[in-house]
Structure 1
Amino acid sequence: MERNPRTIQSLARAFAILDCFDSVHPRLSITEISEIVKLNVNTTRGLVNTLVHFQYLSRDEEDNDYHLGLAFIPKANLVEEQFLFHIKNKIQPMLRKWANAYGLSARLNMIDDGQLMTVFTEVPDNSRYMIMTRSRTPFPLHATASGKVYLASLPDSVVETYIKDTRLVQYTDLTITAPEQLLGEIDRIRERGYALEIGEINEGIGSIAFPIFDKRKECIGTISLSGANEQIYEEEKAAAETLSSYIDSLQPLG
């Protein structure tokens, strides 16, 4: 049986205080913190003052309560950068494997300020045709598999605002431009877990896309496979099973 490692009591108490703050309790008074961590007020005040000194907590002088401090911002950004770096490095070698397994172009696309950008692309070794996407070129969300699967990850209110404020350009006869039709497609994607696009942005070319989520269950990117429409239909089931299982294995890393 593994023994619990020795811990330093004052540090353990400080971490317990930080753990009091969450989306339900973003601001707390000394008394409230004291009650949650089950320490007397004087001990709690000393620990809180230390956390304020090092900017892990911040005090609102007017309301006389506390919230998480600025020290967390650069550290949170660093954690996110490391997670994205790890995801990119883990997925990149798999793209070639999938490209050759299904005879389709495989891509890792990441979200940047609400837009999807291609980061890596791999094409099948023995393919006569290559379907390439310009790096850092934004996807039209309503007309691509990656864009639609990203929309499906967003709250209904955000999707409705996007549809209201965006001109849904018709790229081909199959492009979805009717708001009601797009909302129905998003519902199907949520139920299925991945998105299909068949000739909606380029005639004869389709794609299948899978969302990548972080620990907050927010979509941070997609993995997509692209090729001729008939190839997408042929490989949909096998690709969905393989890639969905693989992406699920990434989630604990968030």
Structure 2
Amino acid sequence: MGGARIAELTEQMDLSKGTVYQHLVTLRKHGYVMKEGDEYQLGLRFANLGAYARNRKPEYVKARELSQELADRTNLDASFVVEENGRGVYLRSEGGEMTDPHLHPQVGERLYLHSVAAGKAILAELPESRVDAVCEQWGLPALTENTITSREELDAKLERIRTRGYAFNRGENTTRVRAVAVSVVQSNGTVLGAASVGGPKYRLQGEWFEEQLPEQVRTIVESSRTNW
């Protein structure tokens, strides 16, 4: 939502106009929202909260270092995705020389786990009961004609990811992007997230995308695991 009037917020939140107004007055006083004309917008104070929440995560510093190394060595967009409330969240993102700025992942962007390489790499490490819960909560919505939409297909993909050690995204979140991802798991079994590299479909093709790039990413990620 870019901005909203009180009437719109009242309808969406199922609260009285007076209650919504009082909340907005308080939020505006503390800098969390601002008023432009008759619309209320999010204030920059939320940016500080987002940075605080992100920096509290112990994996953030390592995610930044790993993403930068992947971007430098592959020349592709590199990112680190974590799972939160059954969705994927970009914790860190670095651009490489072979990237398209219009397709570059944005830090804080949320996504369906089943539709991207990093999300599937994370799901492959989770217990089946947790995968069940994620699927029940969010379903398997089709974002492109390539998106996995059945649990049977998802389970087969996850089993293959466990066997080979990496996951692909072949235009499943947006048809223009392909990616490869490898999970990052601590020695105690804690799933921290997944590291991913990706870029425009026309650049990620053939044997390099199917075989050489996945092995390169897996080698880089595995060499970093001793530091997590």
TM range (shorter): 0.5 to 0.7
CA distance in structure 1 between the aligned counterparts of 2:65 and 2:168, rounded to whole angstroms: 24
Displacement, 1:160? 2.4
CA distance in structure 2 between the aligned counterparts of 1:148 and 1:243, rounded to whole angstroms: 15
CA distance in structure 1 between the aligned counterparts of 2:203 and 2:161, rounded to whole angstroms: 20
Tell me the residue number matched to 1:217. 189
The percent identity for this pair of structures is 23
Displacement, 1:225? 1.3
Tell me the residue number matched to 2:69. 94
Tell me the residue number matched to 1:107. 79
How many equivalent residue pairs?
Answer: 171
User: Quick one: structure 1 residues 246 and 125, their matched pair in 2 at CA, closer, same or farther if it must change by over 3 Å?
Assistant: closer
Greater relative contact order: 1 or 2 (C-alpha under 8 angstroms, separation 6 or more)? Answer: 2
| 3-state SS in 2 of match to 1:121 | strand
Gaps spanning 5+ residues in structure 1: where?
Answer: 1-80
Aligned: 1:121 with 2:96: no
Gaps spanning 5+ residues in structure 2: where?
Answer: 1-55
CA distance in structure 1 between the aligned counterparts of 2:226 and 2:71, rounded to whole angstroms: 24
Tell me the residue number matched to 1:65. none
What TM-score results when the alignment is normalised by the length of structure 2?
0.66
Aligned: 1:163 with 2:138: no
Q: Deviations over 1:187-209 (max 9, x none)?
A: 11111111111111112322111
Displacement, 1:113? 4.8
Match of 2:217 among 199, 221, 243: 243
Displacement, 1:143? 0.9
| 3-state SS in 1 of match to 2:153 | helix
Q: How does 1:133-212 map to 2 (within 5 A)?
A: 133-212=105-184
Kindly name which structure, 1 or 2, has the bigger radius of gyration based on alpha carbons.
1
| 3-state SS in 2 of match to 1:142 | helix
Tell me the residue number matched to 1:4. none
CA distance in structure 1 between the aligned counterparts of 2:114 and 2:106, rounded to whole angstroms: 18
CA distance in structure 2 between the aligned counterparts of 1:212 and 1:240, rounded to whole angstroms: 14
| 3-state SS in 2 of match to 1:176 | coil
Query: One-letter code of the match for 2:221?
Result: I
CA distance in structure 2 between the aligned counterparts of 1:180 and 1:92, rounded to whole angstroms: 32
CA distance in structure 2 between the aligned counterparts of 1:127 and 1:253, rounded to whole angstroms: 28
Displacement, 1:168? 1.4
CA distance in structure 1 between the aligned counterparts of 2:169 and 2:137, rounded to whole angstroms: 22
On the 8 A contact 1:106/1:223 being kept in 2, the answer is yes
What TM-score results when the alignment is normalised by the length of structure 1?
0.60
